[in-house]
């Protein structure tokens, strides 16, 4: 993990942040100089147990509201801000300029952390670790010259450097993702998708609407309307499972599509128990899924599979995911999900993540059909083999019907879109050029996006009716 600590390395040369969405980065990288940071002597005067302590339960009512848009302010020194921009330039090239390659850059490096002050409702949180976050959306926004980038926040990232903030929390939360609603003119896809998964009874991150202002030396600038997302490897495990002692994995690429004989532990990054070199729970899922008993004794195959994998949760996930047309995940892309080995039963449990591309037909071939007729079965065996089993297909069909009658019921969804759009519209359409994915006609683009979401809800009801007929 890259981060700015007590000694900050800066490339020599002039570096400025200029105006709205314009970035100038250091152009002399022939030498490095060190700048000692002198901000370690301070008193955390705003610290209270309720707001800053680890020894309180997460305050969901305070942090994640469905009825108001909250505000966060970041205050970061100009030098540290510039180091973040320079790091992005080193990785993705000049701000506002395409790399010239045919595709997106593949990098395993996260952007650097720097310490910043975070303010909420007049209260300060000290030396919070902030960094830019994202994959294709981060690169695309940067190269398009849009500085409305997503952030990762870690409230005790720098506790070794600043003892005053040991175990610092934000109303009981250690870290968040602050998502920029990339290419979402409605600003609602991330939040609504999480709402639907939650209403369907799945473990999923809580979300909330926030405006963000950043002061990097020239006063607060409006960075736009964001969605705050609870981190899975934080309070989701603490509050939605009986224990957080199990293995949490963030699968990505390679063997994380579960093709037989491909298992590679490097494709299943551990987010808990990282020092324990044991992936036997994942290996057991591979073994059970591809067991020959599937064709000789289906009942025994199901029993074996269910001993290591929460099939019921996964089938419900497939039902929700299919109805909301979330294409940027398993079945199309090898990412955007977590697996958690629940200590209560030893089963790997599916947890959805990063749902900003849902609630639309989809890109790169589109979302999966409800009957998976456009699924490449050999590439996605976890779906193909379960759907081919009559028992599991029947349970999946039941969940599809339940979801469209409740969690994604048409009238309910259209009312929710109306409620949220009224709540956030003024914040969305006042985003500034260079800090927005909306064009020149922000109000009409926003209204059109809301209309499309409401039409989408109706079309999904028709799709389910056709599928179940």
**309-350 pLDDT, tens digit each:** 999 999 999 999 999 999 999 999 999 999 999 999 999 999
Of 265, 268, 251, 261, which Cα lies nearest the Cα of 333? 251
DSSP H/E element including 225: strand 221-230
What is the secondary structure of 64-77 as a DSSP string?
--SS--EEEEEE--
**Is residue 34 pLDDT above 90, yes or no?**
no
pLDDT digits (tens, 9 = 90+) for 153-165: 999 999 999 999 9
C-alpha–C-alpha distance, residues 270 and 292, integer Å: 29
At 414 the three-state DSSP class reads: helix
Per-residue pLDDT at 365: 72
What is the secondary structure of 91-154 as a DSSP string?
HH-STTS---SSS-----PPPPBEEEEEEETTEEEEEEEEEEE-SHHHHHHHHTT----EEEEE
Q: Torsion over CA of 332, 453, 353 and 285, rounded to 10 degrees?
A: -50
**Is residue 33 pLDDT above 70, yes or no?**
no
**Is residue 99 pLDDT above 70, yes or no?**
no
Structure token pair of residue 383: 């779906």
pLDDT digits (tens, 9 = 90+) for 121-131: 999 999 999 99
- For residue 193, CA distances in Å to 98, 130, 189, 391, 422 come to 31, 25, 6, 27, 18
Q: State the architecture of 242-469 in CATH terms.
A: Orthogonal Bundle (1.10)
Nearby residues of 336 by Cβ (< 8 Å), 6 or more positions away: 328, 329, 330, 352, 353, 354, 355
C-alpha–C-alpha distance, residues 87 and 308, integer Å: 42
Residues 288, 258 contacting (CB under 8 angstroms):
no
Cβ neighbourhood burial of 365 (10 Å; 0-12, 13-18, 19+): exposed
C-alpha–C-alpha distance, residues 420 and 425, integer Å: 8
pLDDT averaged over every residue in the chain: 93
Q: Write out the E strands in 14-75.
A: 16-18, 22-24, 32-36, 70-75
At 5 the three-state DSSP class reads: coil
**Is residue 386 pLDDT above 70, yes or no?**
yes
C-alpha–C-alpha distance, residues 288 and 147, integer Å: 46
At 128 the three-state DSSP class reads: strand
Spacing of C-alpha 35 from chain mean position: 34
Residues 265, 266, 271, 273, CA torsion sign: positive
pLDDT digits (tens, 9 = 90+) for 387-404: 999 999 999 999 999 999
Of 420, 416, 393, 410, which Cα lies nearest the Cα of 456? 410
**Is residue 25 pLDDT above 60, yes or no?**
no
Domain with CATH 1.10.1070 in the chain: 242-469
C-alpha–C-alpha distance, residues 71 and 40, integer Å: 27
Give 101's pLDDT tier (boundaries 50, 70, 90): low
Residues 174, 155 contacting (CB under 8 angstroms):
yes
């Amino acid at each position: 993990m890259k981060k700015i600590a007590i000694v900050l390395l800066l490339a020599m040369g002039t570096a400025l942040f200029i105006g709205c969405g314009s970035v100038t980065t250091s152009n002399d990288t022939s030498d490095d100089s060190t700048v000692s940071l002198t901000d370690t002597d301070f008193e955390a005067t705003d610290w209270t147990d309720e707001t800053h302590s680890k020894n309180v339960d997460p305050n969901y009512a305070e942090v994640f509201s469905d009825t108001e848009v909250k505000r966060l302010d970041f205050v970061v020194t100009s030098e540290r801000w510039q180091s973040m921009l320079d790091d992005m330039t080193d990785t993705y090239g000049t701000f506002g300029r395409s790399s010239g390659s045919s595709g997106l850059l593949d990098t395993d490096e996260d952007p650097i952390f720097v310490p910043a002050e975070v303010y909420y409702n007049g209260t300060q949180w000290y030396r919070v670790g902030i960094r830019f976050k994202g994959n294709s959306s981060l690169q695309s926004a940067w190269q398009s010259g849009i500085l409305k980038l997503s952030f990762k926040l870690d409230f005790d990232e720098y506790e070794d450097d600043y003892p005053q903030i040991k175990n610092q929390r934000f109303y009981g939360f250690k870290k968040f993702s602050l998502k920029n609603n990339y290419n979402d003119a409605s600003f609602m896809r991330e939040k609504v998708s999480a709402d639907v998964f939650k209403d369907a009874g799945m473990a999923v991150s809580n979300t909330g609407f926030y405006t963000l202002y950043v002061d990097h030396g020239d006063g607060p600038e409006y960075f736009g309307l964001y969605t705050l997302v609870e981190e899975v490897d934080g309070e989701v495990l603490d509050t939605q499972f009986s224990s957080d002692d199990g293995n949490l994995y963030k699968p990505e690429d390679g063997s994380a599509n579960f093709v037989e004989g491909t298992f590679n532990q490097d494709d299943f990054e551990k987010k808990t128990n990282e020092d324990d070199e044991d992936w036997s729970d994942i290996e057991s899922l591979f073994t059970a899924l591809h067991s020959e008993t599937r064709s000789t004794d289906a009942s025994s195959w199901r029993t074996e599979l269910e001993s290591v994998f929460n099939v019921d949760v996964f089938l419900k996930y497939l039902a929700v995911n299919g109805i909301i047309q979330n294409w940027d995940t398993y079945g199309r892309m090898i990412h955007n999900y977590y697996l958690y080995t629940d200590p209560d039963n030893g089963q790997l449990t599916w947890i959805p993540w990063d749902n900003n591309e849902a609630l639309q037909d989809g890109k790169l071939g589109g979302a999966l059909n409800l009957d998976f007729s456009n699924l490449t079965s050999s590439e996605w065996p976890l779906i193909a083999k379960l759907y081919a089993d009559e028992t599991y297909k029947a349970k999946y069909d039941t969940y599809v019907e339940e979801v469209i009658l409740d969690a994604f019921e048409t009238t309910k969804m259209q009312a929710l879109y109306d409620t949220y759009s009224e709540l956030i519209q003024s914040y969305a359409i006042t985003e500034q050029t260079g800090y927005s994915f909306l064009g020149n006609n922000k109000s009409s683009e926003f209204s059109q996006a809301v209309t499309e979401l409401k039409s989408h809800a109706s079309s999904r009801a028709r799709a389910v009716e056709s599928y179940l007929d």
